[in-house]
Amino acid sequence: MANTLNDCKVSASERLMDYEEHYGAHNYHPLPVVLSKGKGVFVWDVEGKRYFDFLSSYSAVNQGHCHPRIVKVLKEQADELCLTSRAFYSEALCEYEKFMHEYFGYDRILPMNTGAEGVETALKLARRWGAVKKGIPNDKIKIICCGGNFHGRTVTVITMSDDPSSYAQYGPLTPGFVRVPYNNIEALREALDQYGDEVCAFIAEPIQGEAGVFVPDDGYLKRCFDLCHEHNVLFIADEVQTGIARTGRMLCSEHDGIRPDIVVLGKALGGGVLPVSACLADDEIMLNIQPGEHGSTFGGFPLAARVAMEALKVVKDEHLVENAERMGRLFREEISKINSPFIKQVRGRGLLNAIVTEPVAGKTAWDICIRMMEKGLLAKPTHDHIIRFAPPLVINEEQLREAIGIIRETFEEMTA
């Protein structure tokens, strides 16, 4: 990128992107658009151009940008009390704990901030349960994870990844993981037979979002869940991306009719305004961790507690589960009608969908996303050739049809 730091003829966007180019770590490769405003399903760039947001910050903005109810609660609580740490009780956290118990039906919540921390917490809960309840020696304990997973970016969490761009040259990694291919029940059976007594948990995403919205076969999760229980192994569902109405169910695990032993939530739990994550589990798992044995300064802070409760109330009051299911069907139906050599497959559940593309005449998914951006819709390729489409769940039919129009025109123009 040319150095435009002192050039007054460049646009605001170019100047700002140059700041990041020069002063930010290069740990992301964003589309060249600089956003400064959002409302519902739309975002605006610094030049005032409007876009459909079809990424929703990787499903952290399920309730739509700057939802008035969530922002109101955020502001009100900010004026009252923001942070207490867990050295003292806070009114907001106590209410949040009871609320979450009633909302999701688990005995208890362990509140954290980011998704990766939520996953770390689930791994610690599982290891502790394995040590206390199953009597597995600490140096033997194992957790089974899946090929193609994405659970976050901390060192232990990237240990589970089989994507070199996640783990390479960050070693030494954390021992105690066994990886099996996703969507392969026999592989899990073999791993459990081989390591059974030493395994405390199996962790999976109900749909692999970062892997490109990879949807496993119907019943796969149910069979994993049953197999785990036959071996006295905990089933951990990482619902950070799939949870909170995204796939047309409150939790994606419901598609398979299972109730995971530990659920990890994040992203949309923060209503698109704060990082809020949590582990949900019952007493037998949760109560093995005693005071002082795990925590986070900000975990469950009053601001987060109020925001999370409002974010979840909005999901129910605005029927976002039902809307995600209905709009998702419409999306896949209409996108499947597009006749383009770029499109290999359309897949997903609810409003977590993807188009698997194939390069044509040297044009790739990145070029398609650039063209969609120019036409007013933001989506981002994952793994080079897959484009994820995940708008805020508040999208209505008219907006969705307009967005589908942009996507259709883009594919038609790309081959014209």
Ligand X SMILES: *Cc1c(COP(=O)(O)O)cnc(C)c1O
**How many angstroms separate the CA atoms of 404 and 220, rounded?**
31
Kindly write out the interface string for residues 129-168 of this chain, putting x where it contacts ligand X by CB under 6 A and - elsewhere: ---------------------xxx----------------
Cα angle 36, 116, 290; round to 5 = 130
Tell me if residue 52 is catalytic.
no
Nearer to ligand X, 149 or 410 (CB): 149
**How many angstroms separate the CA atoms of 38 and 26, rounded?**
25
Least distance from ligand X to the Cβ atom of residue 68, Å = 24
From 42, 54, 150, 202, active-site residue: 150
Of the candidate spans 25-33, 237-245, 352-360, 397-405, the one that interacts with ligand X by CB under 6 A turns out to be 237-245
3-state SS assignment for residue 80: helix
Task: Decide: is 116 part of the binding site for ligand X (CB under 6 A).
Answer: yes
Q: Residue 398 — φ and ψ, nearest 5°?
A: -65, -45
Nearer to ligand X, 90 or 114 (CB): 114
From 267, 298, 331, 411, active-site residue: 267
Q: Residue 294 — φ and ψ, nearest 5°?
A: -165, 150
Residues 37-50 as b or e (16 or more Cβ within 10 Å = b): ebebbbbbbeeeee
Of the candidate spans 76-84, 91-99, 112-120, 228-236, the one that interacts with ligand X by CB under 6 A turns out to be 112-120
Least distance from ligand X to the Cβ atom of residue 149, Å = 8
Task: Decide: is 119 part of the binding site for ligand X (CB under 6 A).
Answer: yes
Tell me if residue 54 is catalytic.
no
Closest CA to 306 of 94, 112, 121, 106: 94
Nearer to ligand X, 241 or 253 (CB): 241
Nearer to ligand X, 237 or 343 (CB): 237
Least distance from ligand X to the Cβ atom of residue 270, Å = 9
From 18, 45, 238, 261, active-site residue: 238
Return the H-helix or E-strand segment holding 346: strand 343-349
How many helical (H) and strand (E) elements, i.e. helices and strands, does the chain have?
14, 15
Least distance from ligand X to the Cβ atom of residue 176, Å = 19
Least distance from ligand X to the Cβ atom of residue 13, Å = 25
SS (H, E, C) 274-311: CCCEEEEECHHHHCCCCCCCCCCCCCCCHHHHHHHHHH
Q: Are the CB atoms for 351 and 56 separated by under 8 Å? A: no
Least distance from ligand X to the Cβ atom of residue 145, Å = 12
Q: In what order do the strands lie in the sheet with 142-146?
A: 108-112, 277-281, 262-265, 234-238, 199-204, 142-146, 177-180
Task: Decide: is 114 part of the binding site for ligand X (CB under 6 A).
Answer: yes
Task: Decide: is 240 part of the binding site for ligand X (CB under 6 A).
Answer: yes
Pairing of strands 386-389, 352-357: antiparallel
The footprint of ligand X on this chain (CB under 6 A) covers a number of residues equal to 15
Tell me if residue 177 is catalytic.
no
Kindly write out the interface string for residues 184-223 of this chain, putting x where it contacts ligand X by CB under 6 A and - elsewhere: ---------------------x---xx-------------
Interface positions with ligand X (CB under 6 A): 58, 114-116, 119, 150-152, 205, 209-210, 238, 240-241, 266
**Active site amino acids:** 150, 238, 267
